Structure 1
Amino acid sequence: MDFPLIRMRRMRRTEPLRSLVRETRLEPGQLIYPLFICPGEGVRKEIGSMPGVFNLSVDEALKEAEEAAQLGLGGLLLFGLPESKDEEATGAWDENGIMQQALRAMKATAAAKKLVLMADVCLCEYTSHGHCGVVRKSGEEYEIENDSSLALLAKTAVSLARAGADVVAPSDMMDGRVEAIRDELDADGLEQVPILSYASKFASAFYGPFREAADSAPQFGDRRSYQMDGANVREAMREIELDLGEGADMILMKPAMPYLDVIRAARDRFDVPMGAYQVSGEYSMLQAAFQRGWLEPQRAMMEPLIGIRRAGADFIVTYFAKDAAKVL
């Protein structure tokens, strides 16, 4: 059978027909909204490279959590900006650290009953050098040490879980960190806390605006010795397999749009909950185009989100979460 008996446009004729046969759907509950928590009170400081995204004090973050719950979002992903930094990232596991304060405050609200509170587990926001692990200097060379970083990451995860994180999300890309975190969580009686591993995190140019938001730019070198080479799909599958073997409950792919093929490959291979992070650079590029009138904001916001879902992501971390939920 062929045209004119087959007319594909029949099912595109009206919005109700298009909706009826739509293959990929996006709902507010599939969206995770990132928040950057900073010290102070009444602080709502817009990030220059990310219009509409703010560094927020805890009291202001609580307002965002309430709005997110009202919009039906799936959850929040929290990042912390400490008052001070040092080489060992002690602010990351400080029981009175900025993330711990925010988690305890959010957990006491009605909004927390409707949201999944995810806590990023990394050291870069808390280290004076801006790297995601312990740095050792040998002569003129610097080494980001893998094994000595694991205990600090595990300690951080336990501290965040104790403070109220529903999910801990290691984003550092140190080998073995999922197993170290799982062991410490279980030893502390936190065996019910899931691990969302940034299992496939690529060394990307699209993280630039985030580093302004989180004040986490490396003071020397770069992160290519621990974040993945963007050319490697097979290696990404190995990373995911290893993290799942170490006890990861969910995986997160980062970035999203330049790596849709990696998301698809992971979806075809692994039958686990999987998210994708539409990162700061993806958001900022679209915002720049919107401000110049080059793209129609609503459609250009929604199309990439549908594309990420179509590639296989079950949920999406995105700075568009609130705006997209309002559209949906």
Structure 2
Amino acid sequence: MTVAPILKLQGVTKDFTVTSSAFGKVLSSLRAVNDVTLEVMPGETLGIVGESGCGKTTLGRLILRLTQATEGRIEFQGRDITRLPPGQMRDLRREIQIVFQDPYSSLNPRMKVRDIIAEPLENFGAGRREIQARVDEVMDIVKLPIAYADRYPHAFSGGQRQRIGIARALALKPKLIVCDEAVSALDVSVQAQILNLLSDIQRQTNVTLVFISHNLGVIRFLSHRVAVMYLGRIVELAPEAALFDAPQHPYTRALISAIPEPDVSRRGQRQVLEGDIPSPIDPPPGCPFHLRCPKAQEQCRNAAPKLQGIAPRHSVACHFPG
């Protein structure tokens, strides 16, 4: 039996207008996400990685329908959600949730933990007993004592607050959770605890995760497949092992070479990228990476490569992969 993707993006593009702050005059257009096509299977974790400004957070917001795609199509469980009217968006919110980057500002400081977790349940009309049972259940899932439910967020550490944020995201039993840099604000040791927790939760609930991060070490630990973004485009998409063992795009290789390696004998030569990321307001012609690519040739300057399969479930947007 063939399993259908839980999430499917086809040619998704997002443009923002750049205006003059003084007069509100439209100056130009910024393409934050450019022709993204991908699928996410039920129960898997898709990692989305890239440097700051590559468009990964905007892509997450498009999946969540917190912003509207300029072009393309987004399907969730086989249903086109690209332009759902507000009345139908409410039902979608039960199925797709988010864990935010900052555990300090994402929780209401005036609400007790129990009320923070219960709020989405109340919004969807759950009864008092159902809410009480579900709050206790998710507190146990995120490994926080039930006694903590009557405390306020200021009483907790950053890692504990992120557990509360995860508990809130789980309250409605969603099918998909988008984690936007969910551990980047935490200490390294606490990051490991939260990553292990997310991995355990996925095994228990079979929830699908889209995990956005600039940290390849984090992505490698948690993800089944990885999408590498550069200047709004996916330049490589592959299973975790294939991507890290045999990266095909020069940008992916440069990112992987920068991962700290504690074992000196396993350290390779770091590939330093020349220059800065081009401005998305004025992107270069051809391949968006050619200005920084050590393999760039005339074809790269003239034509942008398409994302094409080179192996099972492994695609790359490069004229000269390998």
The answer to whether TM tops 0.5 is no
- TM-score bracket for this pair, using the shorter chain length: 0.3 to 0.5
Could you state the TM-score of these two structures normalised by the residue count of structure 1?
Answer: 0.32
More helix by share: 1
